[in-house]
Structure 1
Amino acid sequence: MTSHPPPQGSTMAASPHGPLQWEQQRAADIVRLLSLYRPLLDACVIDFFTEGLWAQLPPPWQTALGSAPPPQLARLLGGPDPGGPGPLWPLSLLAFAAASRALSFPRGRPGAAPRPPCHSRRLHPLLRRHVKPKKQHEIRRLGKLLQRLSQATGCTRMVDVGAGQGHLSRFLAFGLGLSVTAVEGDGRLATAAERFDRELLRELHKTGGAPPQRRRGPPRPCSPLTPRGPQHIPGRLDPVLPWGEFLLPPDPPAPAARNPLGGPGGAADGARVLVTGLHACGDLSPALLRHFARSPSVAAVASVGCCYMKLSTPPGYPLSSWVSALPGHELSYRARESACHALEQYRGRLGGGSPRLRAHCYRAVLETLIRGARPGLRRPGVQTVKKAHALSFPQYARLGLPRVGLDPASIPLDSDAVGTMLEQQHKVVAFFSLTLLLAPLVETLILLDRLLYLRERGFHCALVPLFDPRFSPRNLVLVAARCPLGTVLAGLEDEDGSNDEAESPPEEQSPPAQ
């Protein structure tokens, strides 16, 4: 199995004039590795007891994993060495872990903040309203990338697809002065976005756009706002309709809106646009790429995908001719769902021995009880039981069983059999850790397929780990343009240094809504 280091450090960038061999080889290696471990890839941890998943592992793996404490499992997932004696890992397990890490696209970001984000001092207080720190981190980082794309392409018109409540759109319009059209399929979210815009404008008229003065400390590093907000259009992007007809009515229905990207020949007024989608769910991300490839009116696109399990297979995956032709490229629903897991967060729980680790064992035991009471019911949606780790198993089961139509009083919750399963929590944790080793591989293959789709059509493109994966797991941004991306990507990862996000003291917090 061969693999070559990605060009330009941790950014997978590609010129349409260079050879495709590197990206093609990496995709082929990933498919081959996933095929070797298909049973593990498609396994669901809630079936741990009902389908005897532990017994399906190689015996040497069982021995080593069964005695490995959580911090050693964290190291297996790429975490730091916890020190002290650890298990003697079988060479086959070490090779599996090493190959998984080597083929997965790097997700770290040099200079990242040493702690989860707080309110960003680099974001104007009025743009922090209604926005959680995680989202503040994302919209500011993506906004700066889009600003670079605007400068490189000479294009100042932006279309934010799947805009939600308009947090990114507001930063692009009010904060960066771009002309922004926000497209959102949920009419309620679009209405909320317009309400937030009006609220910001009222405050802007009071302050003149400048950030409020701090009572102490250095000046804020954020710039004044412009008084021009985004335009909101309710509508959905259809992934299969031809270009120029893609804008469908929102849900709930509203009056039809003009397509902000125009017809096949370009925008209605002849202007070009940049298109972005922050965590565009399921087939929405592939649809953005298809519409970019079809329309010369779209100068560039920056897409951050999520919810890979909602991809249609095909046409959402695979997109490229190369991946489509690879034997074994198919990804099950379970495999695509695994790609949405937050490996870095789980690794942190392992390293700290978090009580949250028992949640998977609880659900696996509950699944056993459900199938015992109703054999035909498999993997029903129990929904999340809040703070399950703080409950005893009987307490957890009494909350979960009624959600699938079962009476907890009719099922023994403290039997010897239940106790025996609960004693195997460490095996459940170890098994789930193994499946997480494959999760970044699946995401890399999906995103590499999208990059190859664009490369096959002659576009400049790159995959950039733009966000800190410890609190923004879907942190890889696919950027594509009709012009070289060198100036866009140069120094991008280090432009903010180590103080990308800093905590605001009490007097700096976002002012309350009026």
Structure 2
Amino acid sequence: MTPKKIHEVGNFADYVDRLASDISDDIGGDVTHFVDFGSGQNYLGRALASASYNKQIVAVEGREHNIAGAREFDIMARLTERPKVMRNKKLYMQQLNSTVPEDQLNKKALKQLATPPKVNDEYVADFRSLRELQTIYKPEDGKGFIRYIDSRLESGDLADVVTQLRDSLSEENQEPKDLRLMAISIHSCGNLSHHGIRSLILNPQVQAIAIVGCCYNLMTERLGPPTYKLPYMRPSLQALNGRIIRESSRHDPHGFPMSDRLCNYKDMGIRQNITARMMACQAPQNWTEAESDNFFTRHFYRAVLQKIFLDRGVITKVHHDGEKPSPAEEEAEDNANSNSNSNSTSTDSPFNSSTKPVIIGSLRKSCYKSFTSYVKGAIAKLTTHDDYHEQHCAVIQEKMGGITDEEIARYEQDYLPRKRELSSVWSLMAFSAVVIEALIVTDRWLFLRQHADVRKCWVEAVFDYQQSPRNLVVVGVKKRPES
């Protein structure tokens, strides 16, 4: 684990252990199982299952390779073991050698292939590799235990998880008792945090939650379609390469805001566009000079690429007053784009015009080594990625396929003087991070407060901000069940 992950897992495991002990009287007994939402490599669950915590963990993860990797770490932590396989070593080596081309084998291997070992006709060879052998988990009294459930959570309803847990307990000859679950998570991304919080309301077995969120930019929007511009200042245009299902029809009930208070605030509700949610992920207090430069460079590259899209006809400019600018105004606007001191007309005011969004998302690290690499990496993704409709891929390929390195370099040179301007604006925006994150976390707290069966709820910091800035845990505890 990285130093950051060690800090998070160590502090949160201790916090969850103390919290479970403190609330046992409130919920009518000890927490029987801890459900880790999006457990990933299960660092948190493994820590809680180990001495001295010895907790019963239900690790819910939707990616099989993460579960496989977590099981390998469980073996290293001695929480489980692989079955021991007794086999004929010579026969096993011959089987391995048979899968290798003969020209790549040494003399010893060729000799082994030529003289197969004699074995009993009734002998059944086991040629599975170590990684193919299923790990053995044996529950023991007084010791922690991990159960993995392969499930991609789309809501806070844990009915399927609870059913699988009960089945697992029955198979282990443990009498399925009254389950008192606590939902936990370190840095569950986007809506997964919402699912964890809602699980307290939707499942009678869940008695408490402790959820640390992150990746606020991945949250969806409950009050309308995805917004790329300030929703009260100008229209929200749909992305050129939006998902195949039109995003304009989406009002995701799992998105932000969760609480009735923010949904109904001044009748319109409170919304956050993608830029605001992305700002909530920042920690400008922790930025170093190098990190700042990388951050601003990425946004500079993206801004110039948008200009290239506009010039080459991939996207168009929309004037919100409905008036099409005259050729003279268009020329003046183009001049203003390359000269920040030029006077803009009312028609080309930034509050009167927008360009259609284009979703690029993350690129490989190598794409950020130069602007040319960035442009080519973005084009490659936009024309080949499965998430994008073939029609949009074809348009981008037609408009952008012939761009040369010289053209790309010329755009970078022309707009490089404005990078400082962009950096200043992004710096001012980034300082809103704590305000936006506070609003998101307050919304989650208000959601718990509005439900009568929640006895108490609160938010507090569990990590050192310098080491892990997404450090706010949302805690909720149900009222004690009536006997």
TM-score (norm: length of structure 2): 0.58
Q: Distance in 2 between matches of 1:229 and 1:245?
A: 21
Offset, 1:171: 0.2
Aligned residues of 1:344 and 1:473 also touching (Cα < 8 A): no
Q: 1:258 to 1:398 in 2, by over 3 A?
A: closer
Instruction: Give the match for residue 445 of structure 1.
Output: 439
TM-superposition CA deviations, 1:351-410 (whole Å, max 9, x none) = x8746532321221122123322333742416435266754x445445544444434427
Q: Secondary structure at the match of 2:179?
A: coil
Query: How far off its partner does 1:325 sit?
Result: 1.6
Q: Which residue of 2 aligns with 1:257?
A: 164
3-state SS of paired residue (1:414): helix
Say whether residues 1:370 and 2:292 are aligned partners: no
- Pairs within 5 Å for 1:177-256: 177-201=54-78, 228-239=144-155, 241=157, 245-247=159-161
CA contact (8 A) 2:282 2:430 kept: yes
Cross-structure match for 2:424: 430
1:456 maps to which residue?
A: 450
Cα distance, 1:236 vs structure 2: 3.1
| 1:318 CA displacement | 2.1
Q: How far apart are the structure 2 equivalents of 1:292 and 1:356?
A: 38
Contact 1:161 1:182 in 2 (8 A): yes
* Contact map agreement 1:341 1:439 (CA 8 A) in 2: yes
Match of 2:283 among 336, 339, 342: 342
Q: 1:206-253 CA distances to partner (integer Å, 9 max, x unpaired)?
A: xxxxxxxxxxxxxxxxxxxx9644222222333165xx63549xxxxx
Q: CA deviation at 1:461?
A: 1.6
> Cα distance 1:379–1:429, how it changes in 2: closer, same or farther (>3 A)?
same
Contact map agreement 1:156 1:179 (CA 8 A) in 2: no
Amino acid at match of 1:324: C
Q: Take 1:338 and 1:260, find their aligned partners in 2: how far apart are those partners?
A: 44
- In structure 1, give the amino acid aligned to 2:159: E
Find the aligned partners of 1:368 and 1:384 in 2 and give their Cα distance: 19
Alignment of 1:162-177 (within 5 A): 162-175=38-51, 176-177=53-54
Question: Within the alignment, does 1:317 sit opposite 2:256 as a pair?
Answer: yes
Indicate if the aligned counterparts of 2:149 and 2:161 stay in contact, CA closer than 8 A: no
Which letter maps to 1:245? A
1:271 aligns with 2:179: yes
CA contact (8 A) 1:153 1:299 kept: no
Asked if 1 retains the 8 angstrom alpha-carbon contact of 2:216 and 2:277, the reply is yes
The residue identity in structure 1 corresponding to 2:429 is: T
Instruction: Give the 3 Å change call, closer, same or farther, for CA 431–481 of structure 1 in structure 2.
Output: same
Instruction: Give the Å deviation of 1:463.
Output: 1.2
For 1:140, what is the secondary structure of its paired residue?
helix
Q: Quick check: 1:283–1:316 contact (8 Å CA) kept in 2?
A: yes
Structure 2: gaps spanning 5 or more residues: 25-29, 83-141, 170-174, 223-252, 316-355, 383-396
Report sequence identity in percent.
26
Q: Among 145, 154, 160, which residue is 2:36 paired with?
A: 160
**1:374 to 1:261, Cα distance in 2 relative to 1, 3 A:** farther
State the distance in 1 between where 2:445 and 2:159 align: 25
Q: Is the 8 A contact 1:201 1:227 kept in 2?
A: no
Determine the structure 2 residue equivalent to 1:409: 404
Distance 1:468 1:374 in 2: 48
Provide the rounded CA distance (Å) in 2 between the counterparts of 1:295 and 1:394.
52
> Where does residue 65 of structure 1 map in the other structure?
none
Q: What is the SS of the residue equivalent to 2:258? A: coil
Q: How many residues of Structure 1 are paired with residues of Structure 2 in the alignment?
A: 317
- 1:381 and 2:288 matched: no
- Pair 1:397–1:375, CA change in 2 (3 A): closer
Q: Which has the higher contact order (CA 8 A, sep 6+)?
A: 1
Whether contact under 8 Å (1:339, 1:443) holds in the other structure is: yes
Question: Using the alignment, how far apart are the partners of 1:238 and 1:398 within structure 2?
Answer: 35
Report the secondary structure of 2:431's partner residue: helix
Question: For residues 459-478 of structure 1, what are the structure 2 equivalents within 5 Å?
Answer: 459-478=455-474
1:17-96 to 2 correspondence within 5 Å? none
Residue 260 to residue 236, structure 1, CA distance change in 2 (3 Å)? farther
CA distance in 1, matches of 2:9, 2:270: 33
Structure 1 regions of 5+ residues with no counterpart?
Answer: 1-130, 206-225, 249-255, 485-514
- 2:195 aligned to which of 287, 292, 316: 287
SS in 1 for 2:58: strand
Name the SS of the counterpart of 1:181 in structure 2. Answer: strand
432-441 vs 373-382, which deviates more? 373-382
Cα distance change, pair 331–368 in 1 and its aligned pair in 2 (3 A):
same
Rounded to whole Å, the distance in 1 between the matches of 2:292 and 2:37 is 40
Mapped to 2, the partners of 1:411 and 1:247 lie a distance apart of 56
Take 1:367 and 1:152, find their aligned partners in 2: how far apart are those partners?
A: 53
Indicate how the Cα distance of structure 1 residues 447 and 260 shifts in structure 2: closer, same or farther if over 3 A, else same.
farther
State the secondary structure of the residue aligned to 1:440.
helix
User: How big is the alpha-carbon RMSD for the aligned residues of Structure 1 and Structure 2?
Assistant: 3.4
Taking structure 1 as reference, are residues 471 and 381 closer, same or farther at Cα in structure 2, changes over 3 Å only?
A: farther
Amino acid in structure 2 at the alignment position of 1:239: S
Q: Which has the larger radius of gyration?
A: 2
Matches of 1:281 and 1:261 in 2, distance apart? 28
Q: State the 1:436 CA deviation.
A: 1.3
Aligned twin of 2:10: 140
Deviations 1:19-71 (A, max 9, x none): xxxxxxxxxxxxxxxxxxxxxxxxxxxxxxxxxxxxxxxxxxxxxxxxxxxxx
Q: Is the 8 A contact 1:281 1:305 kept in 2?
A: yes
- Show the 5 A alignment for 1:299-314: 299-312=207-220, 313=222, 314=253
Contact kept, 8 Å, 1:160 with 1:182, in 2: the verdict is: yes
User: Displacement, 1:169?
Assistant: 0.4
Deviation, 1:194, is 1.9
SS of corresponding position for 2:449: helix
Secondary structure of 1:302's aligned partner: strand
State whether structure 2 residue 20 is matched by structure 1 residue 150: yes
Q: Secondary structure in 2 aligned to 1:194?
A: helix
